[in-house]
Amino acid sequence: MRPSAVFLPLVLICGGVASVGADSNHNLLLITIDTLRADYLGANGSKRVKTPHLDKLARGGVNFTQARTPVPLTLPAHASILTGSYPPTHGVRDNGSDRMAESQRSIAEVLREDGYITAAFVGSFVLDQRFGLAQGFDTYDDRVWSDVSELESLEAERPAGQVARAFEQWLAQRSTNRPFFVWIHLYDPHAPYEPPEPYRSEYPDDPYAGEVAYTDQVIGEILEHLGSDGSRARTVVAVVGDHGEGLGEHGELTHSVLIYNSTLHVPMLLHAPSLLPHGRSVDSLARTIDLAPTLLDYLGLDTALGEGASLRSWIEAGDGETEAEPELTAYSESLFAEHNLGWSPLRGLESGGKRLIVAPSPELYDLVEDPRETKNLAATEPSHYQAIKGQLVEVLQRLEESSGLDSSGALDAESLAKLRSLGYLSGTTSDSRNRKGPLVDPKDRMEIWNRLQRGISLFGHGDYRTAARVFAVIVEDDPLILMAHEFLGSCWLRLSEIDRAEKVYGQALDRGLDSPELHRRLGQIHVQRGHLDLAGRELEIAVAMDPRSVEAQFELGQIRRRVGRSTQAIEHYRAALDLNPSYLWAWNGLAMTLSAGGEPQEALVAFRRVVEIDPEGAPGYFNLAVHLERVDRPEESVDAYRRYLELAGDPTSAAQRRQAQAAIDRLMR
């Protein structure tokens, strides 16, 4: 078992408070719902699921029936929502491998500068503060863990109800009447679909619908609680999906790879009775990048934000007047297949009711006549194809030239492990360069992608033996998918079959695939065999490839401590803590090393930090108690031993419990 990090809410301290804007009496509540298809709302004609609270917002406000996200991935999609920019501009192209640069400007920053209190409450590790979206927020609550003792047992998401409770607590503790901007992210419709009761029983044949129904209910609770302190009447509410879900369309069960309406068409609702029309349906093309500029417009802030446009004139136009507005185009992309599977990237553009998808086998669809994109017109309408392709080239050139970003960077391994539990893997060496011949068209490999997702699901549920069989077949069918090798090796490690794991990692390296994770895992294998020199070499490679790997830095520190190289151990522990100040295992290793090295006061600070991060963790109190006894602080030592005894109920801790009780008896004499 491997130790885990803990993630605490980020609190950014702003300087002076500016005066608020023209409509400062209005709060703003932005609710983003992960993986929500537009056609699963009753307001959009769905009969599959009941969504009364979302439908009520639509009836009392504005419903954009043709809203599009630019990318079917959570982190890039949210970066676009918050900045009003396309991925090539804000630089976040994939989950986990990219961080939004501080030079990017978000709606949170605009509103905070104008005097708003800003807070965010997110439901998934994919949006953890380390990925850059926390800028502009006074409070960024990304506490999605459930158990800090083991990385593998950590939940990578928290249910919508828990996110709502965190928001409600923040709202109740507010001590100012300044307007607020709150972003709430609800992750539940994301796979695996495991709705709570009664929604599990109500939708036994469609658990995705059950997740949607549960999320709708939580939104109702959020709005009801918002009204308890009088804030509801003066709050602009915006609800938007970050991306949709394939649900089998075009062979894609979930999302990430393809860019069709199934994953790009999302719901987008605005509700503010004192500012917005009631029951307005905007059926023209809109983009999620337009949401932030529109909200700022209605809040009286004349601030440009990204490539998005304010949709106010669309909203306030009378029936039949939208034709007078400039026609929008919607750029889309997914680089997931290129980064993670070695297949072709996909880019597209929707213009004039048609969608172009640039792929090894080109595609063109008439979205008016064929919204499910079943009839490819690329061959039969070459003039339309070339015209829209020309538009796409111009858009890409403009976006790439204007971005000037270097926001990508390697991710630490414990972050990657959490993303794997969601079915994501990013930050590894792209393996598309290892393939010979034409690039693989992702739509032709959906069967492999779906099998890979099944294996990931089995892995996430702890069925490592079955998952290993799935990944082994994938490795045979497509030997250049790095993700499959990494998961297969991890399965064998979980099953304590380290020889088989080592063979899988070796095969990956022989095939030209490489990543810090491969070398870190090989380092773990050598540690299990007692070959610390070999382990150190592999971990040095992992750190050289990815200096931001929290776990590689920590594990290298552990090895250096075991061989008596304390100075180097401390350096690696501190490097891990610079990356993640809440990584309690690095704090513990640092404390042990400082204590042994004759730095008792620094060690005490580190031991105290462990129990601050994990106040329910018994081992931390035992180590703290021992150290307090060594530095002649008997009363504090007794308190720590007693706290340890309160928490240590594991039968395997019987010997240590006896030691703790003996220490208490000795110190109390």
pLDDT at 2: 34
pLDDT in tens, 300-322: 998 888 899 999 999 988 655 54
**φ and ψ at residue 134, rounded to 5 degrees:** -80, -10
Measured distance CA(448)–CA(477) in Å, rounded: 8
Measured distance CA(221)–CA(509) in Å, rounded: 51
pLDDT at 551 over 90: no
pLDDT at 523: 97
pLDDT at 612 over 60: yes
Residue at 476 is within a domain: no
Measured distance CA(350)–CA(328) in Å, rounded: 9
| Eight-class DSSP state of 71 | -
- Which residues 6+ apart lie within 8 Å of 566 measured at CB? 560, 593, 596, 597
Average pLDDT over residues 200-210: 97
- Tokens standing for residue 195: 């709705």
Measured distance CA(446)–CA(438) in Å, rounded: 17
Measured distance CA(301)–CA(298) in Å, rounded: 7
Q: Helices (H), strands (E): how many in the chain?
A: 26, 14
- Tokens standing for residue 445: 């490999």
409, exposed or middle or buried, with CB in 10 Å at 0-12, 13-18, 19+? middle
Contact 271, 246 (CB under 8 A): no
Task: Name the residue with tokens 């099953």.
Answer: 495
Residue at 100 is within a domain: yes
Task: Name the residue with tokens 């290892």.
Answer: 434
Residue at 419 is within a domain: no
pLDDT band at 232 (very low <50, low <70, confident <90, very high): confident
Domain boundary among 298, 315, 332: 315
pLDDT at 611 over 70: yes
- Tokens standing for residue 624: 């703290």
pLDDT at 229: 63
Task: Name the residue with tokens 């990237």.
Answer: 345
- Averaged pLDDT score across all residues of the chain: 87
- Which residues 6+ apart lie within 8 Å of 282 measured at CB? 62, 63, 64, 65, 66, 311, 314, 315, 322
Residue at 106 is within a domain: yes
Q: Please report, as a single letter, which amino acid is at residue 50.
A: K
- Which residues 6+ apart lie within 8 Å of 342 measured at CB? 430, 431, 432, 434, 435, 440, 480, 481, 482
Q: Which residue has the higher pLDDT, 30 or 648?
A: 30
Other beta carbons within 10 angstroms of residue 165's beta carbon come to 17
Measured distance CA(396)–CA(44) in Å, rounded: 32
Q: Which residue has the higher pLDDT, 93 or 412?
A: 93
74, exposed or middle or buried, with CB in 10 Å at 0-12, 13-18, 19+? buried
pLDDT in tens, 410-461: 344 444 444 444 444 433 444 455 666 678 999 999 999 999 999 998 998 8
Q: How far is CA 52 from CA 215, 218, 239, in A?
A: 11, 11, 14
3-class DSSP state of 223 = helix
pLDDT band at 399 (very low <50, low <70, confident <90, very high): confident
Q: How far is CA 580 from CA 128, 339, 412, 626, in A?
A: 12, 25, 9, 26
Which contiguous run of DSSP H or E holds residue 364? Answer: strand 363-366
Q: What is the DSSP string of 160-221?
A: HHHHHHHHHHHHHH----S-EEEEEEE-TTSSS--PPTTHHHHSTT-HHHHHHHHHHHHHHH
Task: Name the residue with tokens 């980020």.
Answer: 10
Average pLDDT over residues 76-82: 96
Residue at 528 is within a domain: no
Residue at 638 is within a domain: yes
- Which residues 6+ apart lie within 8 Å of 466 measured at CB? 458
Residue at 547 is within a domain: no
Measured distance CA(582)–CA(297) in Å, rounded: 39
Measured distance CA(381)–CA(370) in Å, rounded: 15
Domain boundary among 288, 315, 342: 315
Give the CATH number for residue 249: 3.40.720.10
Domain boundary among 315, 336, 361: 315
pLDDT at 422: 42
Domain residues for the domain of 666 are 616-669
| Eight-class DSSP state of 102 | T
pLDDT band at 150 (very low <50, low <70, confident <90, very high): very low
- Tokens standing for residue 419: 């993303």
* Number of domains the chain contains: 2
Residue at 600 is within a domain: no
pTM: 0.84
pLDDT at 342: 87
